[in-house]
Structure 1
Amino acid sequence: MLKSKTTIIVFLLLSISPVILLSQNTPEHNVIISVDRIWDRAAHNAFTSLIYHNNKFYCSFRESSGHVSDINGTIRVIASDDGQNWYSVAHLYERDVDLRDPQLSVTPDNRIMLNIGGSVYVGRKLVKMLPKVSFSDKFGKNFSTPQNIRIDKKIKTGKDWLWRATWHKGTAYAGIYQTSKEKSVQLVKSENGIFYRYITTFDVIGGNETTLRFTPENKMVAVVRRGKGNSHGYIGSSESPYTQWTWKELDVRLGGPDLIILPDGKMICGTREYPHDYKEKTILASITEDGDFTKLVTLPSAGDCSYPGIVLKDSLLYISYYSSHEEKTAIYLAKTFNLNWAYENMTPTPAPFVKSDKDGRIELANTADNAEIRYTIDGSIPTQSTGFTYKKSFTVFRTTQLRMLAWQPGHPVSKIVPVAIGSDIYQDEQKIDGDLAYGLNYQYFEGEVSQTTEIEKLPKIKIGRCSKFSINQQRRNENFAFIFDGYIRIPKDGIYTFYLKSNDGSLLYLDDFLLINNDGPHGIKEESAVVSLRKGFHKVAVKYFQMGGGQVLSVSWKGAEFEKIEIPTTLLFHKDQGFSDAVSWLEKEAFRIIRASKRTMNDGTAAFPPQVGIGYEAFWLRDYAYTLEGSANSYSDKELVDACKLFVRKMRADGAGVDCIKFDGTPIYKPGFGTMGVNPVADGSQFTVAVAWHVYQKTKDKKFLKAIIDLLVKTMNAVPRNSNTHLVYIFPGKKQDRCPYGFTDTISKQGDVLFCSLLYVQASRQLSDLLDALGRTNEAKSWKNESELVAESIRKIFWDYQTGLFCAATLRCKEHDIWGSAFAVYLGIADEKQSKAIASYFQKNYEHVVQKGQIRHLPGGVYWEQASCKRDTYQNGAYWATPTGWFVYTLDLVDPELANQTVIDMVNDFKKNGANEWIFDTKYKLPNYLASASLPLAGIRAMVERRKKS
């Protein structure tokens, strides 16, 4: 049962236990097709109205904490295309006013008019009654803010209640009841639905809630609830101009009455029944102008209930109402035949049945020779005008859900019979490419839906693996959804029964075919289906959503050799997409490339240039640092220590770090600027510290560390920074121009620069670790604090909240930085909201920033403001594997499956085309590039570790 804090309307199909509805052998039961609760989210959901307009049902009702004396009443309008799946259209409220009794009608210009009563309380005392009105647009989507209705000064009292308006020939008519008057109902009319002029006063003592309807002959008929004397209701009629009325007292009380006049002139009244045992129900009754009132149908209801709305469509009656018979007060929708049985032969048409079901050949029959059978096999409900007309046997090719009904002239339509057909048709096992692993894939979504087809329109929050169909991974108690998919291993050929129990809606697919439909908002409900399956693996999937209240999902089965049980976890599998294998291959490939790149410098130091071959004839600092971050175990301790000493020894006198070192020992401080250039790179110092940090993590050689620690402090102090923001700063002008981050060295960034500042945070943290390892605690804390200052500035200065990315610089080349945004998440510098925003951007714009698992510097279609390389090449639009690890670490926050696939795609490209420095379409440049194979491993491992912890 739904227990959420919002109104719900319900639709119980006849395939559900009839105990919920009516006795099997009553004419009432044969008339009711279905009753469904479709909204129950508020504590109290009541007072409905129903119309059919522009091919949609609209239902309005009040949401609050109780029936009366509440200042928190609000109005909800929901809509449905089919009467089964509902969504919210409007939610209207007004501060310090209790809104109630919303009544729908359609204006002459095709808008929806919503009449609302507004109660103003002081404490528990009602001090003012304000009738209000709201209008929709012509599409029925947007409703105006409720405005006060203006009432003729002749009758206005300040406590006036316009309960329901009815349009007739361009004029709205309504009864306004006024508690201060004995003859309390005033008949009024309006041309615009806002200002109402007085017509006459009803000669009814103590009248209140009034419904007006019109006959084809323009006669007005009114049913009036009364609250005085014996409280019996009244029915009256009048010819135009509706000033002279004939009244008849009914022998029953009314509660929230609605009235519908059928095409043949018969009238049906929906109301609350007040029996002597005080067990109130919602009923439908025949009513005449002479005051005859005969109960026809009791709808499933009890206690606080009634206020129905009635619509006639396709010879069927749809009745909205509220009731509290299922624990809380909720809204319901009943669907019945048009009740002509009440006036004719009350013997229903016999129900149809399956005469033969063998090898997919289906024959239907009925015991009444002249009965017509209608059926559906697509999950929809047949009616007298929808579905297939049965004329001869037909064929199905797998287990299929059949729904059928029958009718014969002069008798009510039969009940709807649901049955599974074709259950003896064996479904072959699936052919599977690749390996399977235990468990199911799941996708988790958050947001409000009322049917499973809407789930994939919601934001996908996370994906993962689970051992069974379980919703324990949800992060909230309402408005969430899951999609599970995988395989079930069938132990032997046989006939199996599957059971799907849920609250709210769910679907079960087997081999890509809908086997069980348990969709729509509802309480705990179980559906089942029988199917014949061959031994082996079969695809299985379940879609589930929860609106509110009880959270239930259970998938069970039964076979010839076992009773009904939950499907064992040992029989559920998912397809292994090869992520683990891809990572293992990448680790081996990184090691291979690193070792193949080894060169020996003139002084005997082992050097590892960025690429195997002759593309880069020097030992590059940042590329080497990146290989250590992803694959430090590819080096011996001696190689690590010797290389670190070399980079520290070749720092410039002022502490600036190198860009690279030629094999003859010549240091290069900026690409293309020769030895000892005056303009060193702005990331050399940070990468120098990074190399030292990685070497110490692997060797734990304190003697080595102690010898270089002061030089590491010096190099960090040599980084050009903005004294106001603490960020790394590239000064405009050639004299002091510094090359920014080396992987964008052809890009003329100026001002505060993002990537070098991120590197500065990382290096400050690493330097703090190294100082702490040597017992220099105060200095360690100082550098830790410095890292936080820079991180805070990064979050504030570079962030673009509208796009959800960080920008690359503040003065020139201010484009959004994909690499930098991913790196900020990887380092933990981006806060939680920023990280989620970046991850969502990556997910939504994936195809524009990713190619074969490799990543663009910039958003799709964007190029640097000033670059010395052509567009769609190198650093200006090409795709690199270097940042893939940071990228998937970020993407994993919202889409782990896509993160895994990105790694797989990258590795597959490496296997086919090699680990290149960069690619663009069919262009591949510089194969066997060290950073492309090694650095992604750092982000991938961090992603896997985070998954384990969570």
Structure 2
Amino acid sequence: MRLLFLLIFFPFLQIHAQALISQADLHYLKELTQAVIDSSRILPNQRISTDFGPNQTGGTLIRPGGRSSYPAFWTRDYAMSVGTGMITLEEQKHMLLLTASTQNDEIKKTVHGSIIPQGAIADHIRIDDAKPIYFPGTYSFENQGEIRWGHQPPLDDMLYFIHMTYEYVKQSKDLSILDQQIRGISLFNRLILALKAVPENPSNQLVHVEASNRGVDFGFRDAIHITGDLCFTSILKYQAISQLSEMYQWKGNQMEHQKLKTLANTIKRNIVQVFLEPNGMLKASTSMSAQADVWSTAWAVYTGVLSKDNAIQASQRICQSYQNKTLAYRGAVRHVIRTDDFNDKTAWEGSIVKKDTYQNGAYWSTATGWVAYTMALTQPTLAQQLIQEFIADLRTGDFRQGRGFGAPWECFTERDQQNPVYMTSVSIPYQVLLNSTISGKKPTIHRRIKNSLN
């Protein structure tokens, strides 16, 4: 089987670095991404909304997008964008330490009866007074925690906290920050507290919630109710533990490095065993909303959690849905392939928003890069086509053309669109495409395929 695989995919393994995007389009995407990040900055003492005071946090913040949308610092969106190379080390350090300083140090109960566990990281942080808002759906510190957003805060923020720390140390080479004390606890120990705040299934170490302690699995579907073992968050946990393992190695602790490396590999195997469906897709969970999950599947391929035959099968399924026009529109993708919708009234089984709106069936380009990467394993021409549609849509609606334009949008449908100048809609595809099409080098995508065969 290994030899047959190599024979079939050998031509693809030799594709030149321009496999997914042209140099001209990559340059355009880089400039647009930089412009969006620049528009998303909130400078010290800058006021961006009449509803809030100026930025009093002591440094620059980066919100999820420009103009008037999302006037706060969202830890998740920033952490997902920090690998662009477009955020200065000074800015990174400020946002990292701000996030650490607002970590919850003792179990708290909200006025709505939800719980903020020890080690929880804020979903977003107010710019005027730096108060942490642990739950989606509000800017109110006192009134946060409505049960419809979960019985506990979103689970991904704790893991993205680890990611933003890892990226800062990797880029700055400043190991000393890991020992910096924040309210009597070192930054590194705060990472451990954050990891412990993520609930797990003790039988397989995957992230797990029941209906009684549900927390949002991933903030890009905080309006969706998902329970059981959680796929996307478990992939995030695999990434976070791998990063902690590497940080232990940087600190010279080989015992903990090897221990966490072994745990990461166990989680990686269990993700495949628990979530992989016969058609090659990973399902989102094992209980409510346990549907084939495009984002989890594509990201698992990109991170190497799905490899070899499993990655190829996932690629074939996603390519088929793209050709059938049940996945993408204007270069953006759904969370769920339309033929995998729960029923004719909702895409996800549990949702607080209507079908074909927002996270329940709208199209998002945040995941476009992961999806194109996955498609390229079997159908590079289709992957190129998806990226070309993505770039064409950005060029048509580019927000730099004036107030009547808003691309990149957060998400859209055939009838509507929302939140203009949205950062991860370009920052995530840019990172994927940059890493996969480095001029003069073989693309990362090819190296990962080859490594998966070893």
Q: The TM-score by the shorter chain falls in which range? A: 0.7 to 0.9
2:300 aligns to what? 824
After TM superposition, give the deviation of residue 948 of structure 1 in Å.
6.2
Partner of residue 937 from structure 1, selected from 420, 430, 452:
430
Partner of residue 337 from structure 2, selected from 854, 859, 864:
859
Please state if 1:763 is matched with 2:217. Answer: no
1:603 aligns to what? 57
- Work out whether residues 849 and 856 of structure 1, in 8 Å CA contact, stay in contact via their aligned partners in 2: yes
Inter-partner Cα distance in structure 1 for 2:92 and 2:206: 30
Inter-partner Cα distance in structure 1 for 2:307 and 2:268: 10
After TM superposition, give the deviation of residue 893 of structure 1 in Å.
0.7
1:739 aligns to what? 216
**1:893-926 deviation digits (Å, cap 9, x = unpaired):** 1112221222221111011121110111242211
Alignment of 1:44-443 (within 5 A): none
1:660 aligns to what? 124
Gaps of 5+ in 2: 1-5, 45-54, 106-117, 146-150, 181-186, 342-346, 398-406, 438-442
Q: Secondary structure at the match of 2:417?
A: strand
Inter-partner Cα distance in structure 2 for 1:775 and 1:818: 38
Alignment of 1:447-526 (within 5 A): none
- Work out whether residues 327 and 336 of structure 2, in 8 Å CA contact, stay in contact via their aligned partners in 1: yes
Inter-partner Cα distance in structure 1 for 2:378 and 2:361: 25
**Bigger RCO of structures 1 and 2 (CA < 8 A, at least 6 apart):** 2
Please state if 1:917 is matched with 2:410. Answer: yes
From the superposition, tell whether residues 880 and 576 of structure 1 become closer, same or farther in structure 2 (CA, over 3 Å).
closer
**1:640-667 deviation digits (Å, cap 9, x = unpaired):** 1111111111111111122111112111
Partner of residue 612 from structure 1, selected from 46, 66, 71:
66
Q: Quick one: which amino acid aligns to residue 855 of structure 1?
A: V
Q: Quick one: which amino acid aligns to residue 634 of structure 1?
A: M
After TM superposition, give the deviation of residue 626 of structure 1 in Å.
1.2
Partner of residue 373 from structure 2, selected from 889, 893, 897:
889
Q: Quick one: which amino acid aligns to residue 814 of structure 1?
A: A
1:408 aligns to what? none
From the superposition, tell whether residues 577 and 698 of structure 1 become closer, same or farther in structure 2 (CA, over 3 Å).
closer
**1:582-634 deviation digits (Å, cap 9, x = unpaired):** 111111111111011111331222111101022102100110011113x1x21
1:579 aligns to what? 22
**1:653-688 deviation digits (Å, cap 9, x = unpaired):** 111122111112111111136537472111111000
**1:142-184 deviation digits (Å, cap 9, x = unpaired):** xxxxxxxxxxxxxxxxxxxxxxxxxxxxxxxxxxxxxxxxxxx
Bigger CA radius of gyration = 1
Partner of residue 722 from structure 1, selected from 201, 206, 219:
201
Q: Secondary structure at the match of 2:396?
A: helix
After TM superposition, give the deviation of residue 855 of structure 1 in Å.
1.1
Q: Secondary structure at the match of 1:627?
A: helix
2:288 aligns to what? 812
Inter-partner Cα distance in structure 1 for 2:298 and 2:154: 22
Inter-partner Cα distance in structure 1 for 2:359 and 2:21: 30
TM-score, with structure 1 as normaliser:
0.39
Inter-partner Cα distance in structure 1 for 2:246 and 2:20: 38
Q: CA RMSD for the aligned pairs?
A: 2.3
**1:429-466 deviation digits (Å, cap 9, x = unpaired):** xxxxxxxxxxxxxxx996xxxxxxxxxxxxx9965888
Greater share of residues in strand: 1
- Work out whether residues 732 and 750 of structure 1, in 8 Å CA contact, stay in contact via their aligned partners in 2: yes
1:639 aligns to what? 91
After TM superposition, give the deviation of residue 773 of structure 1 in Å.
0.9
1:531 aligns to what? none
After TM superposition, give the deviation of residue 800 of structure 1 in Å.
0.5
Gaps of 5+ in 1: 1-443, 447-459, 468-574
% identical aligned pairs: 26
Q: Secondary structure at the match of 1:634?
A: coil
Q: Quick one: which amino acid aligns to residue 672 of structure 1?
A: G
Greater share of residues in helix: 2
Q: How many equivalent residue pairs?
A: 382
Please state if 1:625 is matched with 2:86. Answer: no
- Work out whether residues 795 and 831 of structure 1, in 8 Å CA contact, stay in contact via their aligned partners in 2: no
From the superposition, tell whether residues 780 and 911 of structure 1 become closer, same or farther in structure 2 (CA, over 3 Å).
same
Alignment of 1:872-911 (within 5 A): 872-911=356-395
**1:557-579 deviation digits (Å, cap 9, x = unpaired):** xxxxxxxxxxxxxxxxxx99962
From the superposition, tell whether residues 702 and 445 of structure 1 become closer, same or farther in structure 2 (CA, over 3 Å).
closer
Inter-partner Cα distance in structure 1 for 2:445 and 2:272: 25
From the superposition, tell whether residues 811 and 637 of structure 1 become closer, same or farther in structure 2 (CA, over 3 Å).
same
Inter-partner Cα distance in structure 1 for 2:380 and 2:224: 32
2:47 aligns to what? none
Please state if 1:840 is matched with 2:316. Answer: yes
- Work out whether residues 602 and 665 of structure 1, in 8 Å CA contact, stay in contact via their aligned partners in 2: yes
- Work out whether residues 892 and 943 of structure 1, in 8 Å CA contact, stay in contact via their aligned partners in 2: no
From the superposition, tell whether residues 646 and 858 of structure 1 become closer, same or farther in structure 2 (CA, over 3 Å).
same
